[in-house]
Chains A and B, each alone.
Chain A
Amino acid sequence: MPVVTPAPPPVSTIAAARALGARKMYGRGENAVHALAGVDVDFAAGEFTAIMGPSGSGKSTLMHCLAGLDTLTGGRAWLGDVEITGLDERRLTRVRRDRIGFVFQAYNLIPTLTVRENILLPLRIAGRRADGAWFDEVVRAVGMQDRLHHRPAELSGGQQQRAAAARALVGRPEVVFADEPTGALDSRSGAEVLALLRRAVREMGQTVVMVTHDPVAAAHADRVVFLADGRVTGEMADPTAARVLDHMKALGGR
Chain B
Amino acid sequence: MLRATLRNLSAARLRLALTALAVVLGVAFVAGTFILSDTTGRAMDGEIAAAGGGTDVVVRGAATVSADAREPLPDALLATVLDVPGVSAVAGRATGAAELVDPAGGTVSGSWSAEAWAADPDLRPWRLRAGRAPATAGEIALDAAAARRAGLGVGDRVQVHLDSGAHRVTVTGLAGHGTAEGASGRSVILLAAGAARTLLHAPGWESVAADAAPGVDAEALRGRVAAVLPPGVEAVTGAQAMADARRDADASLALIRNSLLAFGLVSLFVAAFMIVNAFAITVAQRVRQAALMRALGASRGQVTRAVMTEALLVGLVASALGIAAGLAVARALSALLASSGLALPSDGLVLTVPTVLIALGIGVGVTLAAALRPALRAGRVAPLAALRDSAAPRDGHPLRRRVVAVALTAAGTGLIAAGLLADGVDPWLALGLGAAVLFLGAAGLMREAAGPLLRVLSGRSAASAPPPASAAATRCATRSAPPAPPRRS
Residues of A within 8 A of B (CB): 53, 55, 57, 59-60, 64, 69-70, 89-90, 93-94, 96-98, 100, 102, 104-108, 110-113, 117, 121-122, 124-126, 157, 160, 167, 179-180, 183-184, 211, 213
Contacts and interface: CB of A to CB of B under 8 A. Distances in A.
Contacts of B357: none
Given A70-B384, A112-B7, A106 B299 contact: no
A213 B489 CA distance: 7
A235 B10 CA distance: 50
A183 B296 contact: no
A110 B303 CA distance: 14
Nearest to A167: B296
B294 A93 contact: yes
Interface of B: 1, 3-4, 7-8, 10-11, 288-289, 292-300, 302, 383-384, 386-387, 480-482, 484, 486-489
Given A106-B482, A125-B302, A180 B489 contact: yes
B489 A211 contact: yes
Contacts of B8: 112
A184 B3 CA distance: 28
Given A69-B383, A104-B387, A184-B482, A125 B489 contact: no
Contacts of B289: 110
15 contacts: A55-B489, A60-B489, A89-B300, A96-B296, A96-B297, A97-B297, A98-B297, A100-B297, A106-B481, A108-B481, A113-B3, A179-B387, A180-B486, A184-B482, A213-B489
A125 B293 contact: yes
Contacts of A57: 489
A59 B489 contact: yes
B477 to A, nearest CB: 11
Contacts of B297: 93-94, 96-98, 100, 122, 125-126
A20 B387 CA distance: 24
B160 to A, nearest CB: 70
Contacts of A100: 297
Contacts of B294: 93
B7 A113 contact: yes
B484 A184 contact: yes
B489 A108 contact: no
B258 to A, nearest CB: 44
Max chain A C-beta neighbours (<10 A), residue from B1, B300, B383: B383
Contacts of B292: 108, 110
Contact of B480 (A53, A93, A111, A122): A111
B488 to A, nearest CB: 6
Max chain B C-beta neighbours (<10 A), residue from A55, A60, A112, A180: A112
A96 B295 contact: yes
Contacts of B486: 104-106, 180, 183-184
Given A69-B384, A93-B298, A117 B489 contact: no
Given A112-B11, A180-B486, A69 B1 contact: no
A111 to B, nearest CB: 5
A96 B489 CA distance: 22
Contacts of A59: 489
Nearest to A61: B489
B484 to A, nearest CB: 4
A93 B8 CA distance: 23
B171 to A, nearest CB: 70
A201 to B, nearest CB: 21
B384 A64 contact: yes
Contacts of A90: 299
B387 A160 contact: no
B489 A69 contact: no
Nearest to A151: B7
Nearest to A212: B489
Contacts of A211: 489
A102 B295 contact: yes
A233 B350 CA distance: 81
A62 B300 CA distance: 24
B14 to A, nearest CB: 15
Given A70-B384, A108-B481, A121 B296 contact: yes
Contacts of A167: 296
A111 B296 contact: no
Contacts of A96: 295-297, 383
A160 B298 contact: no
Contacts of B295: 69, 96, 102, 108
A108 B299 contact: no
Nearest to A168: B296
Contacts of B383: 69, 93, 96
B296 A102 contact: yes
Contacts of B300: 89, 93
A57 B299 CA distance: 31
A53 B489 CA distance: 8
